[in-house]
Amino acid sequence: MDNNNQNTGVFINGKAQIAEMLPLLTPEERSRLLNNIRMRNKELADELQAESITIFSMMDLEDNDLKTIMKYINAPVFGIALKPFSYMEKKRILSIADRSYAEETFRAMTATLTDEEKAIKSAGERLKRVLVSLARKRMIDLQ
């Protein structure tokens, strides 16, 4: 009886274990694993991909995908969400943005906020929703 419960537990927790593992994989490994899962269960693969996306996932994207993201998130929110990124990551993103968008993003990025931690978290959550939505619609390639 206990053996059956343990086996069932492994299957129940399989999804959670894969979700925890995905961010640790290289983009190529993640893509291969999700494509294999997608062949058997598209919904599960989409759900796992959405769970594994972080705002830092966008740094694996091509420049044209980053430009697509900028069309769907306003510059001040994007700037606040970028605060925890490295100098080089911020530089890369700002360098491909249109000048006015980049300037507005930079102003938000460098602004002093009253509750900065809360603002960064909220902006990051908004950015993640945009990333997940665009990835589901296949408008960006986040694999």
92-138 pLDDT, tens digit each: 999 999 999 999 999 999 999 999 999 999 999 999 999 989 988 88
pTM: 0.76
How many CA atoms lie within 13 Å of 134's alpha carbon, on the beta-carbon side? 26
pLDDT of residue 143: 62
Question: CATH 1.10.220 region(s) of the chain?
Answer: 56-143
Q: What is the mean pLDDT of the chain?
A: 87
Place of tokens 């970028």: 82
pLDDT of residue 4: 47
* Domain range 56-143, CATH architecture: Orthogonal Bundle (1.10)
pLDDT over 90 for what percent of the chain? 55
Q: What is the mean pLDDT of residues 38-65?
A: 87
The residues, ordered by sequence, that sit 6+ positions from 83 with a Cβ below 8 Å of its Cβ are 109, 116, 120
